[in-house]
Structure 1
Amino acid sequence: MRQNLQTVERLRPVDLAREHGLSTQAIRNYEEAGILPAAGRTPHGYRTYTPLHAAALRAFLALVPGHGHRTATSIMCALNRGADDEAFRLIDESHAQLLDDRRTLQAVESALHDLEPTAAPEPGDMFIGLLAEALGIRPATLRKWERAGLVRPRRDPLTGYRVYDEADVRDARLAHQLRRGGYLLEQIAPLIAQVRSAGGLEPLEAALGDWRARLSARGRAMLTGAAELEPYLRELPRHRQPISS
């Protein structure tokens, strides 16, 4: 069991750094950034830390994998200046973002599943009217999707009509499924971009397992961060200076 954080034990910057394989300059940088509480000073001006600082460092480093460096920094800075509600809001927002990312993954998986069963593949090149009819939407909707970057049809050099090739048809079908799932155009655009960069639906589908694993890793990292943050939260109020009236 870790010792009580109120102990009078004094630690040097190197003592904090050595536990995590950091440099003493990194410890000073974390203090200056507000991630660690302000250090004490010896009569000669050298920094001195306590187990409370060690707990703050452990909490911060545990928060980073799940929340990211910037958010973890903001959480620790808020706690160290007594803005607990702000810190908890930041933590809640990270969890909400993870849930939103998980829902996005589920939407993509569902859309890909719905795209699989087709009676017959559409022809390689389609004009706007034929594609709109195949999807059960209006041509105006396809033009709107084009302005949003969801589809990128070429123009027939003779007629100027929009021509949708196989990749455009694929993107339109995926966009249609995601729209039916309630996703906004600005949410769909980056997903379509991922399909294009992956080289199609099959490579993207193969990448979904890795995406799911990364989301699970973030979730577990958040649990680890919370476990390390708890002892720091428990002791921090005892070390805060009372606010003078």
Structure 2
Amino acid sequence: MGRKLQSRERLRPIDLARGHGLSTQAVRNYEEAGILPAADRTPHGYRTYAPLHARALRTFLALVPGHGHRTATSIMRAVNRGEADEAFRLIDESHAQLLDDRRTLRAVENALRDLASTPGPGTVAPGSGGMFVGSLAGRLGIRPATLRKWERAGLLHPRRDPLTGYRVYDEADVRDALMAHQLRRGGYLLEQIAPLIARVRSAGGLEPLEATLRDWHDRVAARGRAMLAGAAELEAYLHERG
């Protein structure tokens, strides 16, 4: 690596910053953070960089969209310390997270597909416009205690009948219970299901959620492509470091 850094071509901080929309202070910050190798210094103490630093900067900026700023920083630090195996481990973790996101997205889509093909709410509590806990539990083939557990976990929000105090599940609650049931059968934990159901609620139901799912798909795909682009730059940087 030393031979690479001693290239006759010298670059100033502004040379690295120009073209990336960065300030010279950002370049210096990246060096201090270990994202760039340490710069040489002139007799007057000014930083001078080499083409390898420019490659390191391109690599870091290419890694960020796929891995995030923190992980991209850790990857570059590991590479610059000569710990390629640690960098590869970090990359593997990011890919594992992306795969988990894909699986979660698929599970949500499957659950919603099942809901779309499911008949209407079924037994409705007389005069309440909803279902009592026993009816809903019977429909799902689970115990009423399970529904109460889901409520404590924040998955369901039934109202109380003003006369009897019984839980009453409206149409949205039934939908959420059906979705929770599908995801639980798929092996998802309650703490994993809660934010997904919250996403359905915030979208205002299943139909508005389609746009959210498309956006989710786009973001997962974009992250996958960004990881490929980052991997190409990292391979070039590793090759140039020697």
TM-score, normalised by the number of residues in structure 1? 0.91
Whether 2:178 is the aligned partner of 1:173: answer: yes
Q: What residue is the counterpart of 1:41 in the other structure?
A: 41
Contact 2:67 2:94 survives alignment (8 Å): yes
Map of 2:192 onto structure 1: 187
**1: CA distance, partners of 2:238 / 2:223:** 22
Match in the other structure for 1:214: 219
Displacement of 1:156 after TM fit? 2.1
User: In 1, distance between residues paired with 2:118 and 2:98?
Assistant: 33
| Mapping of residues 1-245 of structure 1, within 5 Å | 7-122=7-122, 123=124, 124-236=129-241, 238=242
- How far did residue 6 of structure 1 move? 6.9
Q: What SS does structure 2 have at the residue aligned with 1:221?
A: helix
Give, in angstroms, the shift of residue 9 of structure 1: 1.2
Shift of 1:181: 1.3
Indicate conservation of the 8 Å contact 1:112/1:205, yes or no. no
Q: Secondary structure of 2:26's partner? A: helix
CA contact (8 A) 1:6 1:235 kept: no
2 CA distance for matches of 1:7 and 1:230?
20
CA RMSD between the two structures: 1.5
Whether contact under 8 Å (2:160, 2:167) holds in the other structure is yes
1:117 aligned partner, one-letter code: S
SS of corresponding position for 1:34: coil
Q: Distance in 2 between matches of 1:207 and 1:6?
A: 51
Within 2, Cα distance between the matches of 1:229 and 1:110?
Answer: 36
Q: For 2:154, what is the secondary structure of its paired residue?
A: coil
Q: What secondary structure, in the 3-state scheme, does the structure 2 residue paired with 1:19 have?
A: coil
Q: CA deviation at 1:235?
A: 2.7
| Structure 1 residues 109 and 5: alpha-carbon distance in aligned structure 2, compared to 1, 3 A threshold | farther
Instruction: Find the aligned partners of 2:28 and 2:34 in 1 and give their Cα distance.
Output: 10
The structural deviation recorded for 1:5 is 7.7
1:24 CA displacement: 0.6
Return the letter of the residue paired with 2:22. L
- Aligned mates of 1:43, 1:60 — CA distance in 2: 29
Q: Show CA shifts across 1:89-141 (max 9, x none).
A: 11001001111000111001111111112333434411100110111111011
Aligned residue for 1:241?
A: none
Identity %, equivalent residues: 81
For structure 2, the 5+ residue unaligned runs are: none
Structure 1 segments, 4+ long, off by >4 Å, are none
The AA in structure 1 aligned to 2:182 is: Q
Distance across 2 between alignment mates of 1:85 and 1:157: 63
For normalisation by structure 2, the TM-score amounts to 0.92
Aligned length: 234
